[in-house]
Amino acid sequence: MSLEPVGIITILAGLMVLRKGPDLGILLLMLASLLGAAAAIKLPSLGGASILPAHLLMPFYVLATVRQFGLGRLLRTLLLPAPGFWLALFVAYGLISAVFMPRLFMGGVEVFSIAREAGHGSGIVMSPLAPRAGNVTQALYLAGDLALFAAVVVHAGVALRVVVHAILLAAAANLGFAALDVATNALGMGELLAVIRNANYGMLAGTDVLGLARIVGSFPETSAFGGVTLVYFAFSFELWLRGTHAQSAGPIALLSLLAVVACTSSATYVGLAIYGGLVLLRCSAALAMGSGSRRDVAVALLTPVAALLAVLALLLMPTHWNALTDLAERLIFDKLNTQSGIERSLWNEHGLRVFFETAMLGAGVGSVRTSSFVVATLANTGLAGLAFIVLFLASGITSLAGRARDRMTDASSRAAAWACLVLLISAGLTGASVDLGLLFFVPAAIVCAASKQERVADRCRTGACRGASGLHVEVACRQRRQGATPVGAARGAEHRHWRNPSWGPDTTAWT
């Protein structure tokens, strides 16, 4: 095991999280998630696998959350009827498959996988199915995703604003890394970012397409940067559209959109087109029904006009129009005919073949490399894994239905849901494994935390919370009876007293 300088800093940050609590933890974790090309720890015994800073910091955040709220609260987020129950089943099946399936079908199935062992070269190669380092690392990632999801559900239930601010700050920092990448490449000083590009991945920084520099930011390749930036754009834009955190979310959304357009990632452009079309349809429907806000109306009316004016302006500049059409043809329309497109199509085709050759059980998490999250799920975890993840997603979607909550909670949960959808679209196009990552499970936890708050409010209205203990029930009842909210330093999970003194001593249960 080799501890890198980034890893030392990450461990020190983790110790600080244990001391200060989960509020600082979620902030540092979201920032660490941007270091997608950095290795905190390298593991030669696992073929040179790299542990990213976010994965190293994640246990510190989860532990800080457990210390603050208790292990029982985290475990309750994984019980029926919570969506986390289906995620827990998916992860449990994934862990079992990683252990047994490569041995059950060993040698009988050919798979595409990442070759790290000596003798296999590097990159994606086809080889007989056998236990490999990817089974261990991907299984650990899934377990970490589950723990993170449970921790954020509990944390966001009492400090939602803190979690939302952490995501927006990470979105802003992502733009900063993009600007730094562009500047260092333009000045020929790309080696300055080598300290955060030390993972054992193929680094595609400093490349161009048709003379246009490709932006990678703090990630190993353009598609990774584009996918992350698109998620941040969707989250911040949805917040702005609903008038929540508009002063910060608006500029972040605009700059993220510009970064997405400039990144030259084919999958990102397709994801942006799908998301943009859905938003335009939604805002147009709201306008037609007379239920849209002023910003819905502006999006529905101004977006087509702006697009038309942009096309007309480009038509008046033939040089720029030809360059744009050449770029679109190269990145989108001819993508499947390129070497990359042919390889990715082959991975998906073979992944589906593996799914059937393993009797629809899957070859085990970490065994098969594909270029689509759906195909990866089928090839690695089989029909059962796909069923569990679909039930998790469906349960999360249904949790958004029902009566309106307070404005901030409602806007945050719906923005988080759209961010999850955008990431699923990107993963469906280019996802290499079953691990959707931190940037999916944090917004997903926000959605589930909001639904939990509403169920608590229902219990308070019906009187079912009388005699019950726990922070959510007590806080919900007090807010509804007195009409007060936590303020200042008392906000979030660390508050002990509330504004209204008529409540008397705080009797909230913290066990």
Residue 497 lies in a domain: no
SS3 (DSSP) at 493? helix
Give pLDDT, residue 295.
83
**pLDDT tier at 116, thresholds 50, 70, 90:** low
Q: How far is CA 158 from CA 109, 321, 416, 467, 474, in A?
A: 48, 51, 16, 20, 11
Residue 486 has pLDDT above 60, yes or no: no
Q: What's the whole-number mean pLDDT along residues 366-378?
A: 89
Q: What's the whole-number mean pLDDT along residues 393-405?
A: 74
Give pLDDT, residue 166.
95
Give pLDDT, residue 47.
64
Residue 489 has pLDDT above 50, yes or no: no
Residue 74 has pLDDT above 90, yes or no: yes
Residue 465 has pLDDT above 80, yes or no: no
Give pLDDT, residue 290.
78
The 10s digit of each residue's pLDDT in 330-353 is 666 666 667 777 887 888 888 899
Residue 494 lies in a domain: no
Q: What's the whole-number mean pLDDT along residues 485-503?
A: 38
Phi and psi angles of residue 164, each rounded to the nearest 5 degrees, phi first: -65, -45
Q: What's the whole-number mean pLDDT along residues 297-317?
A: 80
Residue 481 lies in a domain: no
Picking from 54, 100, 357, 401, the residue whose alpha carbon sits closest to that of residue 228 is 54
Give pLDDT, residue 469.
38
Give pLDDT, residue 149.
95
Could you tell me which residue, 164 or 199, shows the higher pLDDT? Answer: 164
Could you give the number of structural domains in the chain?
1
| Angle of CA points 305, 309, 313, to nearest 5° | 175
Amino acid (one-letter) located at 257 = L
**pLDDT tier at 205, thresholds 50, 70, 90:** low
Burial class (CB in 10 A: 0-12, 13-18, 19+), 189: exposed
Percent of the chain residues past pLDDT 70, beyond the cut: 78
Average pLDDT, the chain: 80
Give pLDDT, residue 260.
92
**pLDDT tier at 5, thresholds 50, 70, 90:** confident
Picking from 373, 449, 438, 447, the residue whose alpha carbon sits closest to that of residue 417 is 447
pTM, full prediction: 0.83
Residue 369 lies in a domain: yes
Percent of the chain residues past pLDDT 90, beyond the cut: 39
Give pLDDT, residue 438.
92
**pLDDT tier at 3, thresholds 50, 70, 90:** confident
The 10s digit of each residue's pLDDT in 264-280 is 888 888 889 899 999 99
Q: Provide the domain limits for residue 448.
A: 2-399+406-462
Give pLDDT, residue 324.
67
Residue 498 lies in a domain: no
Residue 111 lies in a domain: yes
Separation CA 189–CA 184 (nearest Å): 5
Residue 442 has pLDDT above 90, yes or no: yes
Residue 313 has pLDDT above 50, yes or no: yes
Burial 475-507 (b: 16+ CB within 10 A, else e): bbbbbeeeeeebeeeeebbebeebeeeeeeeee
N-to-C CA span, the chain:
38
Least-confidence region, from 187-191, 211-215, 390-394, 457-461: 457-461
The DSSP result for 361-391, as a single string, is: S-S-TTS---S-HHHHHHHHHHHHHHHHHHH
Give pLDDT, residue 335.
63
Write the CB contacts of 11 (distance below 8 Å, at least 6 apart in sequence): 56
Residue 411 lies in a domain: yes
Give pLDDT, residue 330.
64
Residue 503 lies in a domain: no
Q: What's the whole-number mean pLDDT along residues 378-399?
A: 91
Q: How far is CA 168 from CA 189, 215, 435, in A?
A: 29, 20, 23
Residue 249 has pLDDT above 80, yes or no: yes
Give pLDDT, residue 369.
87
